[in-house]
Chains A and B, each alone.
Chain A
Amino acid sequence: MEIGFEVPGSRFEVLEETEDGRTFEEFLEGHLGQEMLRFTTAGSVDDGKSTLIGRLLHDTKSVYEDQLAAVKKSRVNRAANGHVDFSLLTDGLKVEREQGITIDVAYRYFSTARRKFIIADTPGHEQYTRNMATGASTADVAIILIDAKAFAKAGRLLPQSRRHTYIASLLGIPHVVAAVNKMDLVDYSEESFAEIRREFDALCAQLGLADEVTIPVSALEGDNVVAASARMPWYTGPTLLEYLETVPLALAETSGPMRFPVQLVLRPDANFRGFAGQVARGTLRAGDRVMALPSRRESTVRRIVTYDGDLAAAAYPQSVTVELEDEIDLSRGEMLVEANVDADALPDVSNRFRAMVVWMHEEPLAVGRTYIAKHTTRTVRATVRRIDYRVEVNSLDHLNSDSIAMNEIAEVEFETSLPLFFDSYGACRWTGSLILIDALSNATVGAAMIVGPVADTAPAAEMLPGSTRRPALILLPGRAKLAERVRDALGARGERAVVIDDALIPDSAVDAVVRALELAGVIAVSSRRLAKDVVAAIEGFAPGAVRVEEDADDEAILNRLTGQL
C-alpha cells in the first residue's frame, strides 16, 4: 500500500498554497479561526468502524509515520490481502487489541483546512449502549455504520443499526449520517445501496430525525471516505469527509433564552463579587436585566469580566465571570436567566420531572431508590417515583417495567430533594441533562434527559422544614420514651428507623450518623437537644429533612408522623 499520497482537503495542501504566495501568518490566522465539530461513530464489532476511522485519519494525513510503522510491524493483523490493518491505529488498550473489540469510548482528533474534528469512537457491541450514549452526549453529528454485506444477507437493517439510530435520536444529535460500508463486498451495487437507504430513511422518519444523509463507502478500499470513489459513479453526493467539513453546525444553543448556571462565586477582595460559569444557552449582555433562581431576585449585569478584558456580550459556550449591580443572594448550583420575559422563556422550576434514562450499572434502577443527581452545577438527591415505560430498543416498543437493567432505556419520574431549574433536553442539552450517581459506591449509574415537569408538581415551598418530605431525623427533645414509640410506630408501617440516643455518639457526630443512616434509607429518631449548628449541618445535606416535634400530646405526634409518611 502506498503511503503519503496527496488528498484534496487535507491540511497539507493548505501548506502548499502558502508556498504559492500566502504568508504563513495568514495560514496561521486561518487555523486560529477554525470551526470545531464533534462527531460520534456507532457500529457493531464487524461493521468495520475502527477501519473507517483509521482510514479517515490516514487519508487526512493525521497519522504520524512512527505510529503507522508500529501498526505495520504489529503481531496482529486482521486485514486480508496485504492491506494495512487501519483498525490497529485506534484500538488502544492491550486487552482490547487481544480481544479484537474496543470496550470503551475513545477520543480521536484530526483537522483539515476547514475544521477541527473530535471523534468519540464508541463500540457498538450489544452490551455497550452506555458507551454510545456517552459518546453521543456531546456530538454534533452521528455516523451510523451499516454493513452492506450483512444487510444483503439478512434482507433488512440489523437490530443494532436500529438501536444505534435510536440512541442518536434520544441523545439529541442534530445530524445523522449512515455510512453504508463494505460496498466492495456487494460489487459497489447501486441497488443494494438504494435498498438500505430506503429502510434507513423510513427509520429516521419514524424517529423524527430530520437531518440525515446516506453515503456508500468502503473503509478498507478508501471509497468515498476522503476521496470520491471512481467505482461508484452513480453516487453524486459528498464523500464522508466532505459531509463532515460542510454540514452546517446547529445553532440551537446559540439562540434561545439565556441560561447561566453559577459554578463558583469569585471573591478575591471585599470590592469584587463575581459569578463564574459557562453560558449554557443564548447570549448574556452587559446591561441586561437578569433574574436569579431560585430566589427570583432581579438585578442588572454590571460587567462581564474575563482575563482578556471586559466583554459586551458572552454567548454559549463561553466561560466568563458576571458582576451584578446589586448584592443579591446567589451561589453555586443556582442560575441566572433573563428577567422581563414571558413565562415560557423561563426554565421549569420543579422538584418533580420525567426523564429518559439510559442505565449504566449492573445493579438495576428500581422504583423507590434514591440516587445523587448532578444537574448543571447543582447536586441533589433524586428518588425514582415510577417507571412510565421501558423502551425495547430494537422494536422501539414501550413495555411495562419496575426496574431498568444495564443498557436499558426507560422514561422515569423523579422527585428531587431540592427543586431543579431545567428545560426539556430537546430545547437545551445542558439544562436538560443530568447524571445519576449511586450514593454508596459513588459510581455514575445513569444518564437522564429531561422530558418535562410532572403536571401535579408540589410547589417548592413544601420542601421547607415542617413539610411532608420524608424526614432524615425526627427530634423529640427530652422525650426518650416517646422516641422509642415513634421508632416502633414507623417500623409497624414498614419504615426502617433507629433511635440514636446512644451515649457513645456525641452530639458533634450526629450529623455524620444521620447522613449514613439516610444513605441507607433509615430514619434517625432522637430525644437529644441539639445545638443549632448541628441541625444546620444536617439541613445542609438534607434540606427540610429535620422534623422537630414539641407537641405536649404524644398521640398527636405519633399520628402526625405516621400519617404523613
Chain B
Amino acid sequence: MTTLAVAEDETNEIHAARLNHLQALEAESISILREAVAEFARPVMLYSIGKDSSVMLRLAQKAFYPGKIPFPLLHVDTSYKFPEMIKFRDEYTHEIGAKLIVHRNEAAIAAGASPYKLGTQNCCGLLKTRSLLDALEEGGFDAAFGGARRDEEKSRAKERVYSFRDGAGQWDPKNQRPELWSLYNSRLRKGESIRVFPLSNWTELDVWLYLYAEKIPIVPLYFAQARPIVMRGGAMTLVHEGMDLMAGEKVKQIKVRMRSLGCAPCTGAMRSDADTLPKIIEELITFRRSERENRAIDHDEEGSMEVKKREGYF
C-alpha cells in the first residue's frame, strides 16, 4: 500500500505522486498509533474481532514494523459472540503473535444476563460497557485504541481522534478537547483515560477496499452462505448454540451474510449472494441501507447510541 510512485520530469526533479485516499488514510492512522504509543504509559487495543478491528490490527503491524505490536489486545467477551468469531480471534491473534486479553463480566453472565431477559440496553450495559470499564481499570490502561469510525452513526460524527474520558470512564460531549492539525493532546490526570480512534476518517467502503487491497483475513460470517435463520423482531436471526426457539418460530436455510458483527442474538443477517470481497464491495455500493441497521442496539430509542456513549460504551 505504501509503495509510492515516483516520477521524473524534464527538469530531472523527482516529484512524489500524491497519495491516493487509502494510502493517505493509512499514513494518518499509522501516525496516530505511533503517537499514542509514544505518549501513553499503558495503551491497549480494543479488539472486537470485526472487520474494523482487522484493519486496525494490520495498521498496528505496519506502524511498529519490524517490531512487534507493543501493546496487548483486549476482547470484551459477552458470551454471546458467534463461535466463528471466537475461533477466528484465537487463531488469528496467535498467528500474528499478538498478546490477547479476554475479559468477561462473569458475575453478570452467571446471573443469566441476556438481551431477552433484560432488553438490549441493559444487557449491553452489563456485558459490554461495565465489563469494558472493569477491564480497563484492572489493566491500568490509560489509552485504549478503538476501531470506531465517524461515518458509522450520527453521534460519532463529532467524536475526536483522542476521545477524553473522565475518572468514571464516561464521555462528556461538552468537555472534549479541540483537535487541530495532527496535534493530539494526550495529557491526563490520574484515573482519566483516552480512547484513541485511528480509523476516525475511514468509511465503511474504505474499510472493505482496504481489506481487499491488503488481503486481510476476516471472520467467515461476513461472506454469504446458506445458514439456518429464524425471523425474530423483524430481523433475520442466525440460529446459534444455546438459543431457544420461541413458539411459532421456524428455522429456514437462507443464503445470508453479516454486515457487521455483534452479539449473536442482536445481530441481524441480510440476504446476500456476496461470497467474495469484490462482491461485498459491489453490493455495498449498490445497497442503500446503513451498516448498523441490523444492529438492534442502535435504534431501540432515538439517540440511543449517544446515551450509551456517555455511559462509556464507545
Contact = CB atoms under 8 A, between A and B. Distances in A.
Interface string A48-71: 000000000000000011110010
A263 B35 contact: yes
B256 to A, nearest CB: 18
B4 A318 contact: yes
- Pick from B66, B155, B213, B286 the residue with the most CB of A within 10 Å: B66
Contact of B293 (A66, A249, A263): A66
Interface string B34-75: 110110000000000000000000000111111110000000
A273 to B, nearest CB: 11
Given A35-B18, A64-B289, A94 B3 contact: no
B289 A249 contact: no
Contacts of B183: 374-375, 433-435
Contact of B180 (A36, A278, A320, A433): A433
Contacts of A210: none
A130 interface: yes
Interface string A398-434: 0000000000000000000000000000000110011
A444 B178 contact: yes
Given A66-B290, A263-B35, A108 B157 contact: yes
A34 B151 CA distance: 18
B90 to A, nearest CB: 23
B294 to A, nearest CB: 10
Contact of A268 (B21, B35, B66): B66
Interface stretch (A23-31, A484-492, A495-503, A549-557): A23-31
A525 interface: no
B181 A137 contact: yes
- Pick from B23, B151, B183, B303 the residue with the most CB of A within 10 Å: B183
Given A315-B4, A374-B183, A442-B188, A106 B157 contact: yes
A28 B212 CA distance: 10
A134 B179 contact: yes
Given A107-B157, A264-B37, A28 B278 contact: yes
Interface in A426-464: 429-430, 433-435, 437, 442-444, 447
Nearest to B173: A93
A307 interface: yes
A171 to B, nearest CB: 9
B172 to A, nearest CB: 12
A105 B156 CA distance: 11
Contact of A263 (B25, B31, B155): B31
Interface string A242-273: 00000001010011000000011011100010
Interface string B147-178: 00011001101100000000000000100111
Interface in B273-314: 278, 281-282, 285-286, 288-290, 293, 302-303, 306
Interface string A304-331: 0111110111111111110000000000
**Is chain A's interface secondary structure helix, strand, loop, or mixed overall?**
mixed
B313 to A, nearest CB: 16
B77 interface: no
B254 interface: no
B185 A374 contact: yes
A308 B21 contact: no
B27 A138 contact: no
A28 to B, nearest CB: 6
A254 B16 contact: yes
B134 interface: no
Nearest to B1: A308
B205 interface: yes
A67 B302 CA distance: 12
B289 A264 contact: no
A379 to B, nearest CB: 8
B303 A94 contact: yes
B93 interface: no
B121 interface: no
A443 B21 contact: no
A332 B16 CA distance: 26
A472 B306 CA distance: 45
A107 B20 contact: no
A11 interface: yes
Given A94-B303, A107-B201, A317 B185 contact: no
Contacts of A121: 157
Interface in B185-207: 185, 187-189, 200-201, 203, 205-206
Contacts of B118: none
Interface in B202-230: 203, 205-206, 209, 212-213
A289 interface: no
A447 B3 contact: no
A44 interface: no
A285 B63 CA distance: 19
Interface in A272-294: 272, 274, 276-278, 283, 285
A72 interface: no
A435 to B, nearest CB: 5
B63 to A, nearest CB: 7
Contact of A443 (B151, B177, B285): B177
B28 A317 contact: yes
A318 B187 contact: no
Contacts of B200: 107
A437 B180 CA distance: 12
B182 interface: yes
A251 B289 CA distance: 37
Contacts of B181: 137-138, 429-430, 433, 435
Given A34-B21, A447-B178, A272 B66 contact: yes
Interface of B: 1-4, 6, 14-16, 18-28, 30-31, 34-35, 37-38, 61-68, 150-151, 154-155, 157-158, 173, 176-183, 185, 187-189, 200-201, 203, 205-206, 209, 212-213, 278, 281-282, 285-286, 288-290, 293, 302-303, 306
The 10 closest A-B pairs by CB, nearest first: A315-B16, A268-B67, A36-B21, A319-B30, A442-B187, A64-B290, A307-B62, A137-B180, A307-B65, A106-B157
Interface of A: 11-12, 15, 24-25, 28, 31-36, 64-67, 70, 90, 92-95, 104-109, 111, 115-116, 118, 121, 130-131, 133-134, 137-138, 249, 251, 254-255, 263-264, 266-268, 272, 274, 276-278, 283, 285, 305-309, 311-321, 332, 360, 372, 374-375, 377, 429-430, 433-435, 437, 442-444, 447
28 contacts: A31-B205, A32-B20, A33-B20, A35-B21, A64-B293, A66-B293, A70-B302, A93-B306, A107-B150, A134-B178, A138-B180, A268-B67, A276-B63, A278-B182, A305-B66, A306-B2, A311-B3, A313-B6, A314-B16, A318-B19, A318-B27, A319-B28, A319-B63, A374-B183, A375-B183, A434-B183, A442-B185, A447-B178
